Amino acid sequence: MLELSLEKPETLQRIAHALSSEVRLQIINLLNKDNMNVNQLAESLGIPVSTTASHVKILEKSGLINTELRPGSRGAMKVCKRNFDDIHIQLNNEENFMKKSQNHRYFEFEMPIGQYVNFEVAPTCGMANHDGMLIPADDPVHFYSPDRSKAQIIWTRKGYFEYKFPLLIPVGKNISSVQFSLELCSEAPNYDHNWPSDITVWINEVEIGTWTSPGDYGDRPGKLNPKYWSELTSTQYGTLNTWKVTDKNTTINDIYLSEVKLDDIGIFNHMFISFKIGVKDNAIHKGGINLFGREFGDYPQDIKLSIEYS
């Protein structure tokens, strides 16, 4: 999701200008279906290539799409792909992590995937970002490296990662829900869409449930991936999943997951909220895990915590 606010008016103006044209909206709609080059877009729209190129340039400048040159039958061609599924515009002046909605407030905080405080990994394992591999592949000791803070994709065949989020909510507030969301998938050799993995989540050391990831996705480049990674035959993107705990139960993507409730996870027991995700030793499907940061995969976000309270 692309987050916009009045704090960055220049960015907001660029996006608004990019979306103010019917032709540019049609281009975005075409890119919803597949990546296309400028000639293909011009043919689909029934307009000159030069006009299409001008519209593509505006969309690219706004950040709504990416383009890259690829070899074609008649030289290089510019291929376009969409960057975002959603746009959220915040028009109030509250701090970024506090949002009001009627009588409720929302505390939001994003944690980079490399900022784990504890971990257990085993080959195949590694991490990378836009500049390249951050550590030697399949060598767990390097997961202690300070370079982990730069990671935008992390993978391991088994084990877990644990994160601690600061709890910046006054004690005594009435919590309505706690949710975490992130992009992830299984970890297979190269990639395999039929590679199930039983991925478990713990909040404050309480197991809230296990979800089976269907596979490891690599049939197309992730929308945010750097060029060097898009050319590899390996993991490219995942699915965006949301775990939510309320006073009734726990859900994943609004589907029932377990009977764990807010009272079970002791929100105010610490100054932080612990989020742990991994594959248990006794899992039926030990298919590993890939975690994506805001610059890899399809979704421009890190691990996002959202707490609704009043």
119 and 192 both lie in a single domain = yes
Model confidence over 270-282: pLDDT tens digits?
999 999 999 999 9
| Section 151-179 average pLDDT | 93
240, 300 contact by CB (below 8 A): no
pLDDT at 1 over 80: no
Which residue segment(s) compose the domain that 284 sits in?
94-309
Give the pLDDT of residue 93: 54
pLDDT at 99 over 60: no
259 and 179 both lie in a single domain = yes
pLDDT at 118 over 50: yes
| Section 287-295 average pLDDT | 97
161, 201 contact by CB (below 8 A): no
110 and 251 both lie in a single domain = yes
301: domain CATH number? 2.60.120.260
User: CB-side exposure of 88: number of CA atoms within 13 Å?
Assistant: 9
Confidence of residue 97 (pLDDT cuts 50, 70, 90): very low
pLDDT at 98 over 70: no
Q: Which of 253, 261, 167, 252 is nearest to 206 (CA)?
A: 261
Last residue of a domain, one of 87, 111, 140: 87
pLDDT at 20 over 50: yes
Give the pLDDT of residue 168: 86
Model confidence over 188-239: pLDDT tens digits?
999 999 999 999 999 999 999 999 999 999 999 999 999 999 988 899 999 9
39 and 146 both lie in a single domain = no
126 and 255 both lie in a single domain = yes
Confidence of residue 103 (pLDDT cuts 50, 70, 90): low
Highest mean pLDDT among 22-36, 102-116, 161-175, 242-256: 242-256
211 and 305 both lie in a single domain = yes
CA distance 72 to 108: 45
Tokens 């590679």, residue located: 195
Q: Enter the tokens of residue 204.
A: 């404050």
Average pLDDT, the chain: 90
30 and 125 both lie in a single domain = no
70 and 154 both lie in a single domain = no
78 and 26 both lie in a single domain = yes
Give the pLDDT of residue 210: 97
59 and 115 both lie in a single domain = no
36: domain CATH number? 1.10.10.10
Q: Which residue has the higher pLDDT, 101 or 228?
A: 228
81 and 188 both lie in a single domain = no
Q: Cα angle at 260 between 255 and 265, to 5 degrees?
A: 125
Give the pLDDT of residue 96: 47
Our count of domains for the chain comes to: 2
